[in-house]
Amino acid sequence: MYRGKNITKIRELLDKKVITKEEVFEKATSLAHYFQDEYNSFVTILDKVKIKDSDSLLSGIPYALKDNFSTRGILTTASSNILKDYVPVYDATVYKKLKKAGATLVGKTVLDELAMGGTGTTAHTGVVRNPWDKERMIGGSSAGSAACVALGIVPFAIGSDTGDSVRKPAGFGGIVGFKPTYGRISRYGLFAFASSLDHVAICSRNVRDAALVTDILKGQDPLDMVTLKSENVKYVDTLNDDIKGKKLFYIKEVCGKDFYKDTNDLVLKKVITTFHDMLDKCRDKGFIIEEVSIDMDLLTALYPAYMCISCAEATSNNANLTGIQFGPRGVGNTIEEIIFNARTEGFSELIKRRFVLGSYILQKENQEKLYLNACRVRRLIVDKITELFEEYDGMIAPCSGGVAPTFDSRSEKLSARYLILENHMVMGNFGGFPSITIPYTMIDKLPVGLNITGRVKDDALILNIAQKIEELTGLKDIYAKVGEIDV
């Protein structure tokens, strides 16, 4: 009755008084508890909620929030030992807005520690499992947010996206992941990872719900100076606009039909074939889709440039984690000893490695060759894509070259496939472009996503295009029907 319903359907049940807001919340939390041991979506599941009266469409709709958004009085750990006891004293703007709309927070979701990672395996409370196959990753860093939506626990969840941290797990989880234009949604109260790349993003089970939630969250915020002025448009009202003649491109070196023809990887072959079948369906619907080519050297530089920029920014952003003002304090006789011990105990190995990398990149003698060159690659890529957006309305590609990886899989980090196909969505962060992932096919009973990215501030058009393609997939509103619970 409740599980797996989207926002519109829960709204109907509430408006027709078939179910009360309290009952909806109770059902959502019972599902959260039921799946917790097996899938580990949550750091904290809330037992009580004060439901605010509101005439918003989100009134009484349960949701989950990634555990790197500040929530007053509610434990917020960023899935790191260094913040394992941290209870914030202020609310993130996103949380404030959802509270005002009357949406009910079910829980705070697990992430890769401090949002730095793409696997969902590095949280201080353990790995997050993929609802479609629990021997596989859901991906990260917004692992718990994607998993709880894919399990049908809540109709939407909030995450953050610095490289592809919502759009990648959305792809592996068979759900929608939408990262609006940089600055569209305030980041006040989101723990900063790499400020020039960080975005608030949304997990939902259909494009309309993603638009609806974005409508509530968007707008300028004096507490986040990069936020954009509010538009007098509701994205949800523009979803039905005609898309006939809209032009999309795909990059040959990312997903060209013949580009992987010599591969022995059967799943990759299926991804490419099914993707091109979907493009044909889109053409039948009225889209114009063309292949473009971009310099391979530039594309292979995407991921290392991302690593340099993000690690460098993360190193300084996380310098406030000392255990002095908040978080567990280390032992020692001097302030240096205390901070040393708090940071040694509090950060996992992976985080330390990323920080050392960031610090190395920022050293005076390395800045030119590493940090500034990475920023130069960023400009070349963004300029190239922006130039293409003068002719085209959007870029389309599969989210990944495969289905969700198993926990023991290893990627060959120097291969062209790893550097390009597995990491191309970072272009959306480099340029702040609106970017959305939707499921488009199932391979071996596992969902595979495609991604559409568009011009800066063209969020409405990207949602509009995504909804039209969603109609062709037959995968709208899917979730993993696992477990024996009927609520």
Decide: is 226 part of the binding site for another protein (CB under 8 A): yes
Q: Which of residues 249-308 bind another protein (CB under 8 A)?
A: 297-298, 300-301, 303-305, 307-308
Inter-helix orientation angle 93-101/207-217, to 10° = 110
Decide: is 54 part of the binding site for another protein (CB under 8 A): no
Decide: is 25 part of the binding site for another protein (CB under 8 A): no
Catalytic member of 41, 80, 141, 160 = 141
Q: Choose between 357 and 463: whose C-beta lies nearer to another protein.
A: 357
Name the segment binding another protein (CB under 8 A); options: 9-17, 282-290, 374-382, 472-480: 374-382
Cα-trace Rg, the chain? 21
Is residue 165 flagged as an active site residue? yes
Decide: is 191 part of the binding site for another protein (CB under 8 A): no
Shortest separation between residue 415's beta carbon and another protein, angstroms: 11
Size of the site for another protein (CB under 8 A): 71
Q: Which of residues 422-451 bind another protein (CB under 8 A)?
A: 429-432
Decide: is 124 part of the binding site for another protein (CB under 8 A): no
Decide: is 375 part of the binding site for another protein (CB under 8 A): yes
Shortest separation between residue 193's beta carbon and another protein, angstroms: 15
Distance CA 233, CA 328 (A): 45
Q: Which of residues 64-103 bind another protein (CB under 8 A)?
A: 86-87, 89-90
Query: Measured on CA atoms in the order 99, 170, 477, 45, is the torsion positive or negative?
Result: negative
The DSSP annotation for 162-178 comes to: SSSTTHHHHHHHTSEEE
Q: Choose between 172 and 430: whose C-beta lies nearer to another protein.
A: 430
Name the segment binding another protein (CB under 8 A); options: 32-40, 98-106, 133-141, 224-232: 224-232
Do you find a cis peptide bond into 165, omega within 30 degrees of 0? Answer: no
Q: Which of residues 192-211 bind another protein (CB under 8 A)?
A: 196-197
Is residue 141 flagged as an active site residue? yes
Is residue 221 within 8 Å of 368, Cβ to Cβ?
A: no
Name the segment binding another protein (CB under 8 A); options: 20-28, 56-64, 101-109, 344-352: 344-352
Tell me how far apart the terminal alpha carbons of the chain are, to the nearest angstrom: 6
Shortest separation between residue 389's beta carbon and another protein, angstroms: 12
- For 198, phi then psi, to 5°, come to -70, 135
Instruction: Give how far Cα 338 sits from Cα of 26, 254, 342, 367, Å.
Output: 43, 48, 6, 30
Name the segment binding another protein (CB under 8 A); options: 109-117, 221-229, 236-244, 280-288: 221-229
Is residue 409 flagged as an active site residue? no
CA within 13 Å, CB half, 256: 14
The DSSP annotation for 355-406 comes to: HHHHHHHHSHHHIIIIIIHHHHHHHHHHHHHHHHHHH-SEEEEES-SSSPPB
Shortest separation between residue 432's beta carbon and another protein, angstroms: 3
Of 50, 333, 410, 445, the one binding another protein (CB under 8 A) is 333
Shortest separation between residue 360's beta carbon and another protein, angstroms: 6
Of 12, 372, 474, 485, the one binding another protein (CB under 8 A) is 372
Return the number of other C-beta atoms located less than 10 Å from residue 419's C-beta: 19
Decide: is 382 part of the binding site for another protein (CB under 8 A): yes
Is residue 127 within 8 Å of 407, Cβ to Cβ?
A: yes
Distance CA 89, CA 94 (A): 15
Q: What are the structure tokens assigned to 145, written together?
A: 């947010």
Distance CA 125, CA 98 (A): 26
Of 36, 238, 274, 359, the one binding another protein (CB under 8 A) is 359
Active-site positions? 66, 141, 165
